[in-house]
């Protein structure tokens, strides 16, 4: 469910007409719904209500500080994968004790900043990282809480580029080696083991891969406790998918996911951490674009938009589907026509959809890409010297720009010409 609905033939974001925002801010533009963000966070929080838990929003999906503040004020933790994300979470007012630091390539400087600023735990992905963290923490005279990320070798049955739990993926340590790694952690100064971390992939539409991974984690928990380790937390990752295509069967609901977690690991008495990103942010955002030209081609017609793959890269990178709808609702029964929906970047890959059936549209009409809140703005670039597009947050009948579009002069001024030129 989201809060982007038609009223009297006009698409609204909560109580604000989308066309009003587009007219004021320009297009393309990302628009986020506060009500949808909070609703989806609440569904996960309620799903784990029978267990001690913390829902940590995976901010790699949507990192705007205003959005992080909305979720932080609702009680969310934040899962970060870089010191830049850590500092954004802190700027949003999220305390260090609710920030989990994941990622395979943490530097010593990143470790230092997080230890000095406060951190709930590091999800450690390798023995060299663990040893580096021990050295940094010892030099600071502190102890770093860690969970070791284990790779359970479970096929998440998702897109190859977002699968993270198979043996050939770069993430975590093989679960078969975990007991030895935990023994090494216990011997290191500056390290305190608090739990186990696992994450098998993104956009999962079936609970069975989660279930298989969590069973392995449960068995490992009992083995590690028998070895004398105090396992207090289980970080079970994120990855629950969303229905990008409205016609497809809906993925499992958070309540089903929470029930499965209770079945597989609830008996262990651990605090449960999860790291949803896409399901909280995905349907909470639209990207709105203007049709620049309607072009008739040989055997196909094109809608050429003012947005492009630099603004929303998911279709080009993952062959991902986004529903594309007119901001002015089509008349009931309007005849539809197939279009290739494309941007203006000089690459054939700059294609949002091929043969997409659309109602009658024309140049200057606005269209909205649904389910664009996750991995949209965060993956945008200035390729072809196109400025980053603005982000807008809506709350009821209020709205505000939460990242403005830079001017061309500002974009160019970041380049520095050497004095010998």
Please classify residue 378 by burial: count the beta carbons closer than 10 Å to its beta carbon, then call 0-12 exposed, 13-18 middle and 19+ buried: middle
Residue 12: both structure tokens together: 């609204």
Alpha-carbon distances of 136 from 107, 117, 336, rounded to whole Å? 10, 14, 61
Q: Is 270 a catalytic residue?
A: no
Catalytic residue among 1, 226, 346, 364: 346
> Cα–Cα distance between 217 and 223 in angstroms, integer?
10
The strand pairing partners of 61, in sequence order, are none
Q: Which residues, 6 or more positions from 386, have their beta carbon under 8 angstroms from its beta carbon?
A: 308, 310, 311, 345
> Cα–Cα distance between 36 and 2 in angstroms, integer?
5
Catalytic residues: 346
């Amino acid at each position: 469910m989201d809060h982007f609905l038609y009223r009297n033939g006009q698409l609204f974001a909560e109580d604000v007409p989308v066309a009003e925002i587009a007219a004021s801010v320009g297009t393309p533009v990302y628009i986020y719904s506060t009500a949808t963000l909070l609703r989806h966070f609440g569904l996960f929080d309620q799903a784990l209500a029978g267990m001690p838990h913390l829902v940590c929003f995976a901010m790699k999906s949507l990192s705007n500080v205003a959005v992080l503040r909305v979720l932080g004020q609702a009680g969310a933790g934040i899962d970060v994968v870089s010191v830049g994300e850590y500092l954004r979470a802190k700027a949003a007012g999220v305390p260090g004790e609710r920030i989990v630091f994941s990622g395979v390539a943490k530097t010593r400087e990143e470790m230092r900043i997080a230890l000095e600023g406060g951190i709930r735990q590091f999800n450690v992905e390798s023995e060299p990282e663990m040893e580096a963290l021990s050295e940094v923490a010892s030099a600071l005279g502190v102890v770093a809480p860690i969970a070791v990320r284990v790779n359970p070798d479970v096929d998440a049955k998702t897109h190859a580029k977002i699968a993270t739990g198979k043996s050939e993926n770069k993430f975590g340590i093989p679960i078969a080696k975990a007991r030895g790694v935990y023994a090494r952690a216990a011997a290191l100064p500056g390290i305190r083991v608090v739990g186990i971390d696992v994450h098998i992939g993104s956009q999962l539409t079936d609970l069975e891969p989660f279930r298989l991974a969590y069973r392995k984690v449960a068995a490992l928990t009992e083995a590690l406790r028998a070895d004398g380790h105090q396992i207090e937390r289980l970080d079970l990752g994120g990855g629950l998918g969303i229905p990008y295509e409205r016609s497809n069967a809906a993925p499992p609901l958070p309540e089903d996911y929470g029930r499965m977690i209770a079945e597989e690991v609830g008996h262990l008495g651990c605090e449960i951490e999860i790291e949803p990103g896409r399901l909280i942010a995905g349907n909470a955002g639209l990207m709105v674009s203007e049709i620049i030209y309607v072009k008739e081609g040989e055997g196909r017609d094109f809608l050429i938009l003012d947005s492009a793959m630099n603004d929303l890269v998911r279709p080009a990178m993952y062959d991902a589907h986004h529903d594309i709808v007119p901001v002015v609702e089509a008349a009931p029964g309007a005849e539809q026509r197939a279009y290739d929906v494309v941007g203006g970047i000089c690459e054939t890959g700059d294609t949002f959809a091929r043969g997409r059936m659309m109602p009658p549209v024309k140049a200057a009409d606005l269209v909205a890409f649904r389910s664009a809140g996750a991995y949209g703005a965060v993956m945008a670039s200035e390729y072809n010297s196109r400025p980053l597009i603005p982000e807008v947050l809506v709350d009821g009948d209020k709205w505000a720009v939460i990242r403005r579009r830079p001017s061309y002069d500002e974009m160019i001024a970041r380049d520095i010409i050497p004095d010998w030129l």
